[in-house]
Structure 1
Amino acid sequence: MSAPTICPVCPHHCRLAPGETGICQARTNRKGYIVPSGYGVLASMALDPIEKKPLARFMPGSNILSIGFYGCNMRCPFCQNYTISQRAPKQNTRRVSPREVLADAADLKRTRGNIGVAYTYNEPLTNYEYVRDTAHLIHEAGMVNVLVTNGQCTDAVLSELLPDLDAVNVDLKGFRPEIYRACGGDLETTKHFIARTAAHCHVEVTTLIVPGLNDDPDDMAKEAAWLADVNPDLTLHLTRYFPMYRAVKPPTPIPTLNALKAVAEAHLSHVLLGNV
């Protein structure tokens, strides 16, 4: 039997024997090469307002063609998109080539003012080769690329994508390593991702506030101060949690969100609430 191959995409570095699939459920060892299990298999495709990504300060008022795959390299028990991120959909998917996405994006640009493509809904970096190939075509056509991600990827992967990225929203789960361990990720990897992308393109950050997990004011002060050091003009979205997937706690109280917003605003000029 062939020796396992190490997946190079994220900090898990899954060791996969031929035929095995990584914890993201989206990358497989095929004859000694780690490849996307479903290159171009889309679980979602829609024209969305840019504010839904969420991006509040990048081409506001515009629409963007949003596509999503399946799989994720984290296991957040409160995942808001678990139906496609935590399992491979058994139906309602279709295979779409990068050139077909380009054609759809260009058609929507003519008819509905589309500005480009957003890679979103699940964790798109588990299928980063498809993102890379599509994003390059979109840029060549004079449109923009938006990435919505948890930031759990290696420098090598990010280096391939950065030249074609125009805006990124990064999901920052919290500001303590134990929060990331509980979700199957690594805090320092996401911090590094934020710092590196913010030096290249427009970046906004989203933190879903889950009661009892990441709603401590001291943690929020540290998070906001760190983000301000990266870029004091950076936008932070504090989003209200609702019970989804395996989480059963009641929704985040509105007063909690307002209090954390005030804490973050001591460091950042742009702090917005979502899902309220």
Structure 2
Amino acid sequence: MMNKLINPILFIMCLFVTACSDDNNGNEPISSFSLDKTYYEVRLGRGSTNIHVTNGSGYISLSIEDEKILNAKYAGGLYADGLRGVIHLYGLQKGSTTLTITDNVTKDVETVEVKVTDCYLAYVINDSNHPILPAGTTLFLVNNQAQDYYLFDQDNIYNKPILKDNSYEFFITQDTDTGTGSEPANYAIPYLRLYMHNPADTGTTTAEFYDFEIEMYGEDASSSYVLQVIQAYLDVDWEELKGNIQTKSPAPIDMTMIMTVPDTDYRIRGVLSTVSIPEHILE
């Protein structure tokens, strides 16, 4: 009689221990898979836009409607911040397509629209006394035929540019430095020019413009990498612009780009960045 009572008790205790052991091992029910957004943008040819997978099983399959426009790769695994995985989106050609994301365990499916825009580069302005490019703004230079640019307030929650126009251009001037040698040396000085058109004057192509010298020399200079990044993202051929002009060796300072206006006290200090432009701005 005693044995008949003990066996059920032992069985229940075993179940309790097993359940506790499962809890200690972190075996939790798998949540359903879903995304907070169903629209993403990625710039053409450079960098990626990431979709963070925060729920579901983490075992994901991807299907792209038009593989000529978009490439997508999934990196699964439990990250330190609790992410289940990250989907990296790469723009191959301008246009829009859909990406179908399937959780292979829960069978949940999400379909998102992905738009590939022109490539662009951001200039995040931290300190400036110039009225056109004030501190706390970000200048986006777009690599398209019109060479559009947009200026956004970094605190603008409505994602509307405070300035937009076309076009901009980079160019080179020469600076002659006689130094201590008998022969003067010519050095290349890179510039950014921003054109500002009068929207009321649609019958003319004339425009006001502002020139900014990119400070590459001296103790407090731009990073030596900024010209390379501008060339990579905006297709600026510095070699073609400067021709045979010699260049000094600039000092590397992170990705800082400092611009001044010659013969004035205007000075702009910012950082070249791959931060994304607000959505639904670019075609």
Q: Do they superpose with TM above 0.5?
A: no
TM-score, normalised by the number of residues in structure 2: 0.22
Which of structures 1 and 2 has the bigger CA Rg? Answer: 2
Higher normalized helix content (fraction of residues): 1
